[in-house]
Amino acid sequence: MKHLTLIFLFLYSFSAMAQNKPAYVLYDGKGKKVSYEKMTRNLLAKDVVLFGEYHNNPISHWLQLELVKDLQAKRPMVLGAEMFEADNQDALDQYLRGDIDGKGLDTLARLWKNYKTDYAPLVNYAKAKGLAFAATNIPRRFASGVSSDGFEALDSLSSQEKAWVAPLPFPYDPELPGYKNMLTMMGDHTSPNFPKAQASKDATMAHFILHYFQSGSLFLHFNGSYHSDNHEGILWYLQQQRPELRYATITTVSQADLKHLDKENRGLADYIICVDEDMTGTY
């Protein structure tokens, strides 16, 4: 009996320490702690959810897969991601249908270096469940052209190439804080065309989200947090075209202290995944 009591006390103490040293804490936009279950219930009522990640953060990637599983169990879903460029949609579809294997996808598509660890689980889940997965991003080479020469770089694209970009010309508001901050952050190492390249990505991702959106289904999109923070970027373009849809955003931040959400992180999104800053990156 004495041994059982000691084991119980050890397990209780270990559990308490784990609870007092969380890897992440979930907050709402106002900085109030919120449960994963409550967030999930609220997201089920939306049409489009933008999940902003830190590309190398394992907590973001783990929660993405868990969220897909939990939401898909209760609603039809469509997935999409910044990490696939629109001209790779055919290769992605071939993989989802089983026409090619993982090696074939790696050959035909431009996969990110952390694909196997961070995004393959999402794609493979979509494959197993028969979910559509949209390649939403503008081809990188086109965005690079905008960064160098402005939106005019897109005018010379062929008809086929323009099919992989948001319909031209798309709106652009250089006064949006996110775009203005990009110029400030980069200082002397940038030009007014740099945020235009970001806008070309945001506009194109919004375009393909709406292209693949299915009425009655929930579209869950994965993107870098800056593409949807402060309800700008992709969301701004979505609301320009389909203001009647119900949207929600998630973002990821890192802090040394998880007990409270830092003031500068409040309002970034509807839900904020606050991760310990000592969390090991996936690359």
**Predicted pLDDT at 188:** 66
Tokens of 240: 């320009």
Which residue, chain included where needed, has tokens 């979910």? 131
Q: Check: CB of residue 50 under 8 Å from CB of residue 235.
A: yes
Selection from 127, 121, 125, 65 nearest residue 94 by Cα: 127
**Predicted pLDDT at 19:** 58
User: pLDDT (tens digit, 0 to 9) for every residue of the chain, 283 residues total?
Assistant: 444 443 443 344 334 445 578 999 999 999 999 999 999 999 999 999 999 999 999 999 999 999 999 999 999 999 999 999 999 999 999 999 999 999 999 999 999 999 999 999 999 999 999 999 999 999 999 999 999 999 999 999 999 999 999 999 999 999 999 999 998 887 767 789 999 999 999 999 999 999 999 999 999 999 999 999 999 999 999 999 999 999 999 999 999 999 999 999 999 999 999 999 999 998 8
Omega within 30 of 0 (cis) for the link into 167: no
**Predicted pLDDT at 196:** 97
**Predicted pLDDT at 161:** 98
What SS3 state is found at 26? strand
Return the domain boundaries, the chain: 24-276
**Predicted pLDDT at 199:** 98
**Could you tell me whether strands 271-276 and 77-85 are parallel, antiparallel, or unpaired per DSSP bridges?**
unpaired
pTM of the model: 0.92
**Could you tell me whether strands 271-276 and 24-28 are parallel, antiparallel, or unpaired per DSSP bridges?**
antiparallel
Q: What are residue 242's phi and psi, to 5 degrees?
A: -135, 70
DSSP alpha helix (H) spans, 112-158: 120-129, 140-149
Q: Check: CB of residue 170 under 8 Å from CB of residue 92.
A: no
Q: Give the C-alpha separation, 207 to 102, whole Å.
A: 27
Tokens of 224: 């870098």
What SS3 state is found at 120? helix
What SS3 state is found at 55? coil
**Predicted pLDDT at 11:** 40
Q: What is the CATH number of domain 24-276?
A: 3.40.50.11550
